[in-house]
Structure formats: C-alpha cells, structure tokens
Amino acid sequence: MLTTVATLFSGGGGFDVGAVAAGLTPVFAIDNCPKAAAAYRVNFQDHIVVGDICSQDFSKVTADHLHASPVCKNFSTAKTGAAESEFDLACASAVCRAIAQIKPRTFSLENVRGYAKSDSFLKIVTTLKSLGYNPAFRVLNSADYGVPQTRKRLILLGKLGDRPRFPETTHQKPTVQQGLFPKPNWISWYDAIADLIPTLKETHLAPWQRFRVDHDCLVSNSNRVCGWTEVQRVDRSKPSFVIDATAKLNKVCLIEKVGARSDRPLREILNDRPVPTLKALGQDGHWEQWIISNGVKILQTDMRCLARWQSFPGWYELPTARPVACSIIGNSVPPLLAQRILEVNYDH
C-alpha cells in the first residue's frame, strides 16, 4: 500500500494536496523558490527543502511515491522560439538520480505536452526502464476528472514490476453524445465559484475597457473584427444568476484578461464551460485577471476563484500577496487530478 509521497519542484504543494486527499502522507519536498516553500510550510509540515534540485542528495529520502513537475517554460507553446536548455537536461538528470536513490514503488511526472518530445523526457523514461519500472504516458485533460479547467498536461507514470494505471474519466464535454452510462458534464467555472460571486468586489474599468467588454462581448453575435481584435466566443449558454437586482439579462459571462494590451483577444466564456488553462504569470506584479459581467455590473475575481478553478480545497491557505498566490496556483498540478492518479495506483 502506498502511504508516503515525496515531490520535486514542489512549489506550494498542489500535488501534495491531492496526495493527502488520496490518503498519502507527504514526507519530502524541494523547491528553489523561498516564497513558494513558505506557503508549503504553512499548509504542511516543515519537510520542504529550499534549494537546487541538481545538487540535492536524495539517498536518505524514503517514500512510496515520487512525483516531479520540472520547469516547463522551454517546452510550452506559449513561449515562441524556446529550446531545451542545459538547465532542463540537468533537472532531468536530477530527477533520474532521485528515482535511483529513493527507489519509490511508483513514480509520476507532469509537464506540458511538448515535454514528451524532449531529450529530458527520453532520459527519464530510459532511466525508469533501466531501474525496472514500467513507464507509460498520456495527455490528460483536467476537466475530464472534475477540475473546472480545460488544462491538458502530459502525465508520465512508472511502476516497479507492473504496468501503471491511468484513472478513468469522471466527466465529459457537454457536446459529447451520451452513452449507455452517461457521465456528468464538465464542471463549469460558474458552478465552481457560485457561492463566492456575491462576495466579489465590483470593478470600474477604464472607458475603453468597458466599451470593449460591453460592445465586443455582450452585443456582438458572431466573430468580428473591430478596432482592436477579433472576439473569441463560446456558442452555448444557460440562464444564470442575476448579479444586480436591476439586471434584465440572463446572460452572464467570464471574460479573460481585460488589460492594457490591445492585441490580445477578449475571450468570453459562458457559464456552462470550464476556464481555459490558468497560467503562472510570475511574481513581478502581474497576476491572472478575469472579470464577470452581465452587462450591468462587472466583478473582479480574486485568488479564491483561481484556487477553486485549480481544484484547491478550502483548507489550503494561500499567500496574501496576489502575484505569489497566482504563481503557486498556475504552477500547480490540479490537486484533484493528482488525487485521481494516486488513487488508481493505490495498492490495497
């Protein structure tokens, strides 16, 4: 039976949250970001190491399961022209060394889809095979497992002496034809935060921002080119709550990134769909911005909303600094996905 878990590139402990929900106890973690490690300590015991994974000795670490989420920025489609670096390869070598020294019964790795084409990935898979593990990998969509976010990530699993198992999906896209044993539709952004909406603060956008929201998103019925850019729309809608008592619209939508950049499309997400992939925007003062509009009031989402969309439970305590909290959320494995992965490989 799997009882303990160690994590590499642990951040604020998203995977560890899922491990706890699956019945495992975190016993070791390492990350090079002091602020992320501080958040980890608040939510878990003081077993996280702040340091460089490439120089860490893992010979004294004992754990049944080992998880790694190597830095993904050079493999993401969001970074144009990025290439695998010597640092990426060094991190992969450190992961291989951790596997060899810890000798866990099971292993998992999470990264963006592009990581599967890298030499780093090949190095880790080769190491697993040489140590007697059976590796297997797939790209999983978090929304298929109950996370209100269409986050697609490469998941590599390895198990000593046996084939690892991937969890069965628990939810499905609303447009998928229902079979004999239908699954619930994806959980929407609205369903995930409905109880938080009455507590959100109203935001007052600049005139040009308000025009963009009202004219482009709430008036336009089709994709069109206006003075800024083409509006991306979702074609399904359901009646929903009324933010303001004077509102006559039943159309409430979530709108992504109403910022200063005019070359970025506004993306309207109606209230029966999950959010797209949440991003870690770093700790330089930027954070993920979303607003909720029904044409009367415009509300600013907060870190609680982002945490819900990443499937963090209510007990997890986020840092008060929004950029740090956003970075932790965006860099995390959705805890619910981590839980599903561990549960199906839990040997009873």
* Residue 63 placed within a domain: yes
Q: In the prediction, which pLDDT does 82 show?
A: 66
Return d(Cα 167, Cα 140) in angstroms, integer.
10
Say if residue 210 is in the same domain as residue 266: yes
Q: In the prediction, which pLDDT does 209 show?
A: 72
* Residue 57 placed within a domain: yes
Q: Are 210 and 169 a contacting pair, CB within 8 Å?
A: no
* Residue 323 placed within a domain: no
Which residues are within 8 A (CB) of 328 and not within 5 positions of it... i.e. 6 or more apart?
A: 11, 12, 14, 36, 39, 280, 318, 319
Q: What is the CATH number of the domain that holds 89?
A: 3.40.50.150
Q: Are 115 and 154 a contacting pair, CB within 8 Å?
A: yes
Single out the catalytic residue among 72, 96, 253, 326: 72
Count the domains in the chain: 2
Mean pLDDT of the chain: 83
* Residue 8 placed within a domain: yes
305 is annotated as an active-site residue: no
Task: Encode 222-238: b = buried (16+ Cβ within 10 Å), e = exposed.
Answer: eeeeeebeebebeeeee
- State how far the alpha carbon of 9 is from the alpha carbons of 32, 68, 72, 231, in Å: 8, 6, 11, 37
Which domain, by its residues, includes 206? 189-309
- pLDDT tier, 213 (very low <50, low <70, confident <90, very high otherwise): confident
- State how far the alpha carbon of 57 is from the alpha carbons of 27, 30, 95, in Å: 15, 11, 11
- State how far the alpha carbon of 285 is from the alpha carbons of 169, 206, 325, 329, 342, in Å: 37, 20, 11, 15, 35
Nearest to 31 by CA among 284, 328, 340: 328
Q: In the prediction, which pLDDT does 257 show?
A: 60
Nearest to 257 by CA among 228, 236, 235: 228
Q: In the prediction, which pLDDT does 254 show?
A: 80
Say if residue 130 is in the same domain as residue 193: no
User: Facing residues of 149 across strands?
Assistant: 275
* Residue 303 placed within a domain: yes
- pLDDT tier, 244 (very low <50, low <70, confident <90, very high otherwise): very low
* Residue 12 placed within a domain: yes
Q: Which residue has the higher pLDDT, 227 or 19?
A: 19
Q: What does 280-311 look like in DSSP terms, one character per residue?
A: ---SSS----EEEESSS-EEE--HHHHHHHTT
Q: In the prediction, which pLDDT does 310 show?
A: 97
Judged by DSSP in three states, 141 sits in strand
Say if residue 264 is in the same domain as residue 160: no
Say if residue 144 is in the same domain as residue 206: no
Q: Which helix (H) or strand (E) holds 155?
A: strand 152-160
Q: Which amino acid is at 249?
A: L
Q: Which range (9-13, 35-39, 193-197, 256-260) has the least confidence?
A: 256-260
Return d(Cα 327, Cα 285) in angstroms, integer.
10
* Residue 81 placed within a domain: yes
- pLDDT tier, 215 (very low <50, low <70, confident <90, very high otherwise): low
Give the model confidence (pLDDT) of 119-152 as tens digits.
999 999 999 999 999 999 999 999 999 999 999 9
* Residue 195 placed within a domain: yes
Answer whether residue 248 shows pLDDT above 80: no
Say if residue 161 is in the same domain as residue 294: no
Answer whether residue 309 shows pLDDT above 90: yes
Residue keyed to tokens 């596997």: 99
